[in-house]
Structure 1
Amino acid sequence: MTYPLLTTSHLFAPIEIGPLKLNHRVAMAPLTRSRAGQPGNVPDAMNVEYYRQRASAALIISEATQISQQGQGYAWTPGIHTPEQIEGWRAVAAAVHAEGGRIFLQLWHVGRVSHPSFQPGGALPVAPSALPAPGKTFVVDASGKGVWADVPTPQALTTAGIAEIVRDYRQAARNAMAAGVDGVEIHAGNGYLLDQFINSASNHRTDAYGGSIENRARLLLEVVDAITAEVGPGRVGVRLTPMGRFMGMGDATPAATFGYIARRLNDWPLAYLHLVEPAMVGTVKDDIVDPRWDALILDMRATYHGVVMLAGGYDARSAEKAIADGRADIIAFGRPFIANPDLPWRLRTSAALNTPDPATFFGGTAVGYTDYPKAA
């Protein structure tokens, strides 16, 4: 069967990010799948095949990848802090490049959304303040099975501990580039460590990293500065979830807080700013969308001078409109890429989409991972 191609489309126009030229604007959003090889949370041959299949994305943003053992919060998620992990990601990057694709590695520290079973020495997870996250994490039980577990009250980071985390981010970026990826994305959203510092609901500190907007944004900006100094700003993206509610996030003055961050990010000529619209809370559709969101995204779009990527429940029509209207420059698709490895082609030709199976999202085998068919 043949399909007519979209001959005029904003979504399929080329764009440049940093030194990279992308053929279109359908990016693959970061997707935690909990299938890293064991032991050691090392990307293996199944992960290589998964990313290779999706290399037609304008840009793949990898699943969230912990910068250190302290940064892990879920079972079977990959890292970028050991030699074996670097080699595993090298195989992934090589496979994506062999298919003509581009890939950024998303750098991740979960902060308080963790469990002592992941922490060095069985310590408590770390956070800006000793406030527990209202959620669960995915751990391995005594039988080796993945189960959901409550997260404990974390320990508040010392300033020395914060400085060590900045060093870990910088080293992780260096490791990622050594693995051959095209750049890195700093995960500063979804209720994880950098987001915990940004939001007033989770940051009750009274030192230089808490209180004012400038102080709560300080850690993120220190991480951005360290990583861009290491790999070059054109190889770095930043992901934010303004007004996101996942894992207890919330800010007293979101327009001022995220407006300040957007303005400050202009200090570095980044590859892009990646904003997540509040269509989902974790893996559940969010039916309570704050009406202030639309004004906030438009303000951030106007404030930030570089490329803006948006994610959050888009389909072909809404993505095309968002780019045509100037709301975004690139659209990142998440769940559709799980079930449709050839998603850009399907969107461009209006081919039917496969439906993803939520039961296979996290953990498991190649079923629901590398076995979704391409369009005929």
Structure 2
Amino acid sequence: MEKLFLPVNIGALDLAHRVVISAATDRRRIGESHSAAYCGACVRHVSPGGLVITPPVAVSATAASASVPDGFDTPGTAAIWAAAISLAHARKAKVVARLCHPGYAPFRAATLPGTCIDEVIAGFRRAAERARHLGFDGVELDAADGSLPDQFLQDGVNRRTDRYGGSIQNRLNFLCELVDAVTGVWTAERVGVRLSPFGQFRGMSDSDPVTLFTMLLTTLAGQELPFVHLVRTAADGAPLGHLPYEDRSAAARIRAAFPSAIIVSGDFTRRRAVELVRSRWADAIGVEAGMVEDGADGR
């Protein structure tokens, strides 16, 4: 049997196979509203013993937007989240909440005051607490595709001159502080980070992305996280997206930097997904819920 369909342990998450249901994996749905109800649709596609990563969940009222409208405290959503989790657990599947701050004005990395940074970190902590109370199995910090943490990482947009800007190490500080805040609520073995190396969505860019993301993954490994989730986006305009495995040198450096599980998401054929896991570059493959049903992941 192909490795893609064999069990895997990702921190505290024991999974029966390596196909992950991950909402909006290639950003074809950008512009659409991701509500709590969509999580239920994702869960209905999960196979027994699998993993679902939810649509983005706004970590606070100030993080909510037209495309990420529902935080855990949005009126009427708690029962929807609870029903989705119950359905997944009935299938012996796990559900990880994707905690998101889109970073729209005035919450931009370049201009965000220090007091607001503390407020954002507190928002992630409260969202992590709420996710645990609702019965999720873990959380994923969204630092991909132009989100607020991504804006801190990449020097094409981060022009800060304080401890959050300038050197790569400084630009890692914000995300590392978010990780520390969330792992103070959950154990580290139930926390992951979503990233988009080489992504250009929402104007993201970096002068040396291989070094940046290699250093970041080494740092996250030191924080004992069980997984990172690397995504590619059609919005970049590149046919193959921006995953680094297409560049052998970059792929080797990034894989070596993070010895724990790497989940990769994108519009993969079944053959490509099998190859990525067989080659040990990826440990699991993320697919969008609708793609499972329409067969886009199986050719």
TM-score normalized with structure 1 length: 0.71
Q: Is the 8 A contact 1:190 1:241 kept in 2?
A: yes
Residue deviations 1:310-369, cap 9 Å, x none? 1122121111111111111111112xx2143497xx97xx6x8xxxxxxxxxxxxxxxxx
Aligned to 1:127: 108
Correspondence for 2:239 among 284, 287, 293: 287
Residue deviations 1:201-243, cap 9 Å, x none? 1110000111110111111000011111111111111111011
Offset of residue 244 of structure 1: 0.2
Describe the shift of the 1:82–1:73 C-alpha distance in structure 2 as closer, same or farther (beyond 3 A): closer
Q: Is it true that 1:303 corresponds to 2:257 in the alignment?
A: yes
Q: Output the CA distance in 2 between the equivalents of 1:158 and 1:313.
A: 38
Contiguous gaps of at least 5 residues in structure 2: none
Amino acid at match of 1:263: T
Q: Is it true that 1:329 corresponds to 2:283 in the alignment?
A: yes
Q: Which has the larger radius of gyration?
A: 1
Q: Output the CA distance in 1 between the equivalents of 2:214 and 2:164.
A: 18
Q: Is it true that 1:26 corresponds to 2:19 in the alignment?
A: yes
Offset of residue 175 of structure 1: 0.5
Q: Is the 8 A contact 2:15 2:93 kept in 1?
A: no
Q: Output the CA distance in 1 between the equivalents of 2:243 and 2:221.
A: 26
Describe the shift of the 1:81–1:200 C-alpha distance in structure 2 as closer, same or farther (beyond 3 A): farther
Q: Output the CA distance in 1 between the equivalents of 2:261 and 2:254.
A: 12
Correspondence for 1:65 among 57, 60, 63: 57
Q: Considering only aligned residues, what root-mean-square deviation do their CA atoms show, in Å?
A: 2.4
Q: What secondary structure does 2:185 align onto?
A: helix
Q: Is the 8 A contact 2:39 2:54 kept in 1?
A: no
Q: Is the 8 A contact 1:237 1:272 kept in 2?
A: yes
Name the structure with the higher helix share: 2
TM-score normalized with structure 2 length: 0.89
Alignment map for 1:162-201 (pairs within 5 Å)? 162-201=117-156
Runs of 4+ more than 4 Å apart:
288-293
Correspondence for 1:89 among 76, 81, 91: 81
Q: Is it true that 1:214 corresponds to 2:206 in the alignment?
A: no
Offset of residue 288 of structure 1: 7.6
Offset of residue 91 of structure 1: 1.8
Q: What secondary structure does 1:60 align onto?
A: strand
Q: Is the 8 A contact 2:124 2:182 kept in 1?
A: yes
Q: Output the CA distance in 1 between the equivalents of 2:43 and 2:34.
A: 15
Q: Which stretch has the larger CA shift, 59-68 or 310-319?
A: 310-319
Aligned to 2:10: 17
Amino acid at match of 2:274: E
Describe the shift of the 1:291–1:89 C-alpha distance in structure 2 as closer, same or farther (beyond 3 A): closer
Contiguous gaps of at least 5 residues in structure 1: 1-7, 37-42, 113-123, 130-155, 353-376
Offset of residue 183 of structure 1: 0.6
Aligned to 2:274: 320
Q: What secondary structure does 2:264 align onto?
A: strand
More RCO (CA 8 Å, sep 6+)? 2
Q: Is the 8 A contact 1:271 1:307 kept in 2?
A: yes
Aligned to 1:256: 211
Q: What secondary structure does 1:286 align onto?
A: coil
Describe the shift of the 1:97–1:159 C-alpha distance in structure 2 as closer, same or farther (beyond 3 A): same
Q: Output the CA distance in 1 between the equivalents of 2:285 and 2:120.
A: 30
Q: Output the CA distance in 1 between the equivalents of 2:96 and 2:88.
A: 11
Q: Is the 8 A contact 1:65 1:80 kept in 2?
A: yes
